[in-house]
Chains A and B, each alone.
Chain A
Amino acid sequence: MLTAITRAFRTPDLRKKLLFTLGIIALFRLGSVLPTPGVHAENVRRCLEQAQAGDAGNIYGMVQLFSGGALLKLSVFALGIMPYITASIILQLLVVVIPRLEALKKEGQAGTSKITQYTRYLTIGLAVLQSTAFVALARSGQLFQGCSEPVLLNDDVFTVVTMVITMTAGTAVIMWLGELITDRGVGNGMSILIFTQVIAVFPSELMNIFRRNAFTFAIVMVVGIFMIAAVVFVEQAQRRIPVQYAKRMVGRRMYGGTSTYIPLKVNQAGIIPVIFASSLLYLPQLVTTLFATQTQQNVVIQWISQHLVTGDTPVYMATFFVLIIFFTYFYVSITFNPPEVADNMKKYGGFIPGIRPGRPTAEYLNYVLTRLTAPGALYLGLISMVPIVALAVAGASQNFPFGGTSILIMVGVGLDTVKQIESQLQQRNYEGFLK
């Protein structure tokens, strides 16, 4: 393992990429701790301590997780890459709904880059909305409930507007940093930035648990290691459907005749369903905070704030679980299209032994995929339920360090990045990290 790392650093090309990625990450973290001008940093720190002691700051769960604690610090990069994720989700859903976008997606490279461009515009729009919302919350003192100290230095309109614009620009910078990593560094930039933020809150969370109770700490560590192993196991699991290619003679050359396989992963959708579901379940919280100030409470709002805001009610758990399973199937159906794969195979003279090419192949692939996705969806649902159940049973914090989503992100992004480094290493020598 260590020799592989030294070898990675001895390859000049790869060394440059790795150092570039590390540099961008350092910049990103710097921006995440730098307070936005106009914020009373000292008061914010005091309020944060209060919130952590009273577990009141946890209502922003998912957003806080993705921003690595930057959000409640009201730093320059407070919004993190959440706007980008939300924009991506919205566009993914719109592709299914709007015919024009669907046509663009079918166009291939050019169409996809156009959709990416739309995602970027939408990201800025969402960033403006979210930063306005958060600065407004901070201004009215609702960001930290039960903390009376003023978070902003002075709340005239000019300062507030400056803050909003700065945060929006921060989101744009994050987007750019992510793209730079994708372009010139190692791995996919956006996921590496999420990874960084998830990892960043890790040590302090672990220290919190350790300080509270050393025995719990030991249990958490053991459970966490087991969970990581389990997640790696399932992430790597795949079903290989054999494909035989027919031999063809073109002129005097022989083509084909090879036998390969289509790898169908058990968890084909990756972590996206969890992110979709969490983002959707974040909406009721947003609605209730918006209507919380109204004196006369409506029945629907009351029901929502009773059942859908905190994670320990059965209704919330059930909704979360069902949403994850739905989105797993939804996302797999978007990313893997059996008729298309079958068509492509037929075009190049490939077939699955024992099954006719064309429609029967598509049906067979569909059959296998739907059955394969069932355990995958259940697995995603169960893993992401772990922190919620832990919250209900043991009273642990919602930012439980080995929470399902964080583990899924850590393992997923980690594996992916290591694989990419490995494929770069293998261009020069044969041995990599994974044996």
Chain B
Amino acid sequence: MTIGISIALILSSMLMVLLVLLHKGKGGGLSDMFGGGFSSSFGGSSVVERNLDRLTIITGAVWFICIIALGLILRP
């Protein structure tokens, strides 16, 4: 049981990292970060981006559930 959830957690973690990296970075780096003026975001995301968002959210939910489940099982 523990090992199964652990493996699920590892897999979902890796998928999460991959999906986040697939997103186009909107951060703009450090120059934007502290008082670097306004970052103008050009609205409207493509279908690909929207599907990616959906997939990321689902993976995130699975990841989160895995963490809580494993945390509950491993509780001393």
Contacts and interface: CB of A to CB of B under 8 A. Distances in A.
B50 interface: no
Contact of B29 (A112, A121, A270, A409): A112
Contact of B20 (A34, A113, A115, A176): A176
Contacts of B28: 112, 116, 182, 188
A235 B35 contact: yes
B74 interface: yes
Interface string B52-76: 0000100010010001101100101
Contacts of A270: 34-36
Given A34-B67, A416-B34, A42 B29 contact: no
Contact of B63 (A35, A120, A169): A169
Given A34-B67, A37-B71, A169-B14, A175 B9 contact: no
B31 to A, nearest CB: 6
Given A34-B67, A165-B10, A176 B24 contact: no
Contact of B74 (A37, A76, A423): A37
Interface in A382-410: 409
Contacts of A235: 35
A113 B31 CA distance: 13
Of A40, A166, A235, the most chain B CB neighbours within 10 A belong to: A166
B29 A116 contact: yes
B76 A91 contact: no
Contact of A179 (B9, B16, B25, B67): B25
Interface string A406-420: 000100110110001
A92 B30 CA distance: 8
Interface string B5-32: 0100110111011001101111111111
Contacts of A182: 26-28, 32, 39, 41
Contact of A120 (B21, B31, B33, B71): B21
Place the interface of chain B in its size category: 35 or more
A257 to B, nearest CB: 26
A415 B23 CA distance: 29
A165 B14 contact: yes
A169 B56 CA distance: 12
B24 to A, nearest CB: 7
B74 A119 contact: no
A189 interface: yes
Contacts of A175: 20, 27
B20 A166 contact: no
A165 B13 contact: yes
Contacts of A169: 12-14, 16-17, 63
A213 B71 CA distance: 38
A85 interface: yes
Interface string A336-371: 000000000000000000000000000000000000
Interface string A149-168: 00001000011011001101
A23 to B, nearest CB: 13
B10 to A, nearest CB: 5
Nearest to B37: A416
A89 B30 CA distance: 7
Of B9, B17, B33, B56, the most chain A CB neighbours within 10 A belong to: B33
A183 B27 CA distance: 8
Nearest to B7: A162
A88 B30 contact: yes
Contact of B34 (A36, A178, A272): A272
Given A113-B25, A179-B27, A162 B34 contact: no
A335 B29 contact: no
A147 interface: no
A116 B27 contact: yes
A36 B63 CA distance: 12
B9 to A, nearest CB: 6
A314 B76 CA distance: 47
A224 interface: no
A191 interface: yes
Contacts of B70: 37-38, 162
Given A162-B6, A179-B26, A415-B35, 6 more contacts: A112-B29, A119-B25, A168-B17, A179-B25, A188-B33, A191-B33
Closest 9 CB pairs of A and B: A169-B13, A37-B70, A88-B30, A116-B25, A270-B34, A172-B20, A270-B35, A179-B26, A172-B17
